[in-house]
Chain A
C-alpha cells in the first residue's frame, strides 16, 4: 500500500515537472514568436526572461550602485535622453553630467518597481516602467512616482539603450 502511495506520489511529481517544463517551453516559444512582426501575437515578455529587459534592470542596478562605467556601457553612444525638461544627446554627455546627479539622488532613496514591461520586436525593444521613490534628499522628503520609457537596439548581439524618457 505504502509502495503504491509512493508510486502515485512519484507519478504526481513527474506529471507536475513535465507540466512545468511544458509551460516553460511554451513561454520560450512565445518569446521567440514575438520577435516576428505580427501584432496579433501576444508579445509581452516577463522582464527577466527577456534579454532586453535584463539590460534595463542591469542599467538601473548600475546607476543605483554608483557604477558609472557599467551604466555608460549599456547606453548607445548617440543615446537621446529626456529628463527634467532637458535633453542630452550622447552617452558621454549624460555620463559626465546628469548621471552623477542621478546616482547621488537615487543612492539616498528607496526605489520600488511598481510596474515594468518590456517588448521585443526583432532587433528593437521598448521598455515601460513605473517606480515609487521614497526617502529624504537634501533635507526634503521624497514621495513620488517615476515614469520611464526606453528604446533599445540590438547590435552585434548586444542590446544598447538608444532613447530614455524620464518623468515624474
Chain B
C-alpha cells in the first residue's frame, strides 16, 4: 500500500513538473515574441532598420503588407519604407495593444500574433497630422532557438 502511495505521489509530482515546464516554456516564448514586437515598434518610430534586420527572416518571397500596399523582401521594407519615414515624418507614435499569441505545430515552432494598433504622426512636408487605428498580424517561425518574423500585415483606418 505504501509503495502504491509513494508511486502515486511521484507520478503526480512528475506530471505537475512537466506542466510547469510547459507553462514556463510557453511564457518564455510569449515574452520573446512580445519583445520582438516591441523592437519593431521602436524601429518604426525611429526609422531604424536594425530591429527589422535582426528579427525578420529574410527569404525569397517574403511579403510585408501595410495600408493596401506591400514590400517584397526585407531590403525593400527597410530601405523603401522604414528608413525613409525618419525624414518624411516629424514624429510617429505606434502602439500595439491586446496582443494575442498563438503557438502552433507539434514542436510549437510556428506562432502567429495579432494586435490592435494605433498610429499617430505628423508629415513634415504638409504639416498634416494623422491618427489611425487598426489591426496587425505577425507570423513567426522559431529558427535556431530565435523567433523570426516571416510575414506582417497591417491595416488601419482614420480614428474618428
List chain A positions with a Cβ less than 8 A from chain B: 37, 39, 42, 44, 80, 82, 85, 87, 117, 119, 121-124, 126, 128, 130, 144-145, 147, 149, 151, 153, 162-163, 165-168
A124 and B137 contacting across the interface, CB-CB below 8 Å? no
In B112-153, which residues have CB < 8 Å from any A CB?
112, 114, 133-135, 137, 139, 141-143, 148, 150-151, 153
In the bound complex, CA of A119 to CA of B105 (Å): 14
Q: Give 14 A-B contacts (CB < 8 Å), ordered by A residue.
A: A44-B60, A82-B135, A121-B141, A145-B68, A147-B65, A147-B153, A149-B65, A149-B153, A151-B112, A162-B102, A165-B137, A165-B155, A167-B153, A167-B154
CB-nearest residue of chain A relative to B139? A126
In the bound complex, CA of A42 to CA of B112 (Å): 21
List chain B positions with a Cβ less than 8 A from chain A: 57, 59-61, 63, 65, 67-68, 70, 102, 104-107, 109-110, 112, 114, 133-135, 137, 139, 141-143, 148, 150-151, 153-157
**Total number of A-B contacts with CB less than 8 angstroms?**
88
A39 and B57 contacting across the interface, CB-CB below 8 Å? yes
> Cβ of A121: which chain B residues have Cβ within 8 Å of it?
105, 109-110, 141
Interface hub of A126, A162, A168 (most chain B Cβ within 10 A): A126
> Cβ of A147: which chain B residues have Cβ within 8 Å of it?
65, 68, 70, 153, 155
Partner of B134, one of A44, A85, A122, A123: A85
B contacts with A: majority SS: strand
Closest CB in chain B relative to A106 CB, distance in Å:
17
Closest CB in chain B relative to A89 CB, distance in Å:
10
CB-nearest residue of chain B relative to A149? B153
A128 and B112 contacting across the interface, CB-CB below 8 Å? no
A82 and B139 contacting across the interface, CB-CB below 8 Å? no
> Cβ of A153: which chain B residues have Cβ within 8 Å of it?
104
B151 and A126 contacting across the interface, CB-CB below 8 Å? yes
